[in-house]
Structure 1
Amino acid sequence: MLRRGFLSVRTGLTDDDVRKSAAALAVRALELPELAHARSVAAYVSVGSEPGTLALLDALHARGVRVLLPVLLPDNELDWGPYEGAGSLATVRHGTRMALLEPVGDRLGPEAVSGADVVLLPGLAVDGRGMRLGRGGGSYDRVLARLERSGADPALVVLLYDTEVVERVPAEAHDRPVHAVVTPSGVRRFR
């Protein structure tokens, strides 16, 4: 029910709301020291009324940052491919689920995320402990577990709307906190 509530609020946003928030989100995110010094960033392409990421992806790419984007596999695992600008994306429909914009070209394998300096995570909410509420598919839980197993320690940053930073979200034993949340109005750090 919690997920449905956040998704319902997002559905009520206008295209103009989403566009303005995306521009502000990119400005805030680009101010992060972690992104200023990153050589490689694992990110994602927003869909629908998610906080917009394309302006941020383009800015990182223009800086010469290697941007990795996920490719959803049939088992909900994520492979990764390089982002080379808007022309390097294709719409891919995954069965009856939503269509996603994914990178075309070379696949780098699920382990490629372990080389990222920063991992930008989607979510529906984050709480005061830095615990992230995702959509429930488990893809990013697997990514976070993979990072932990490999010993990689990238900055974990979730991109949200201001109203999605809440007091508490449910957490399970496998959940891992993020280091920061970026919203259109600012940044909040958790450790």
Structure 2
Amino acid sequence: MSASPPSPPTVVPSTAAQTVGFLRQLGAEQIAHPGGTLLAHLCRVYRLLAAWDARPALRLAGLCHAAYGTDGFPTALLSLDRRTELARVIGPEAEEIVHVYAAMNRRATYPGLAAPNAPFYDRFTGGARAVNRSLREDLAELTAANELDLARVNPVFREQWGPDLLALFAGFRPLLSGQAWEEAGTLLGAGGYPEK
């Protein structure tokens, strides 16, 4: 009697797939968002970050970047007292990026984001603090992925906000990956801005 072939290994869903399931449980698929549902947008941001070769933690942060709501999209899937729950799903590094992205007061923080000592303004606490360069790079890259996805799927958004986004990303240029900057140029026509 011959031995039966080994059974194939059990396929464990990837963290991204588990996270998508978690987001569905939280109702992200039912929330309207420019270009479809919130879940569709979150998945596109994840894929865009992956296309830019972002590290796994930043990709997962992109997938959940609106979990606590943002300065531009106030609908939250989770309250801040559930941070440990999200961290169990995506890991503490990714959750920290999500939290800081959600906390960012954009109007106050964006103008100086590329400056080494510029303060980060927290909309949850009302305070200001310094954030390290790595986190500022994550915030810039995630902002680019978020806004460029909206510009890609919504021509009206692109026409209305494209010039402002291009100026914003030019200010972020020292923090953005080459892939993010190239995408901004392709989509928004960055032509004349200098390299970092």
More helix by share: 2
| Bigger radius of gyration among the two | 2
Q: Between Structure 1 and Structure 2, which shows a larger proportion of strand residues?
A: 1
Q: Higher relative CO (CA 8 A, sep ≥ 6), structure 1 or 2?
A: 1
TM over 0.5: no
TM-score by length of 2: 0.36
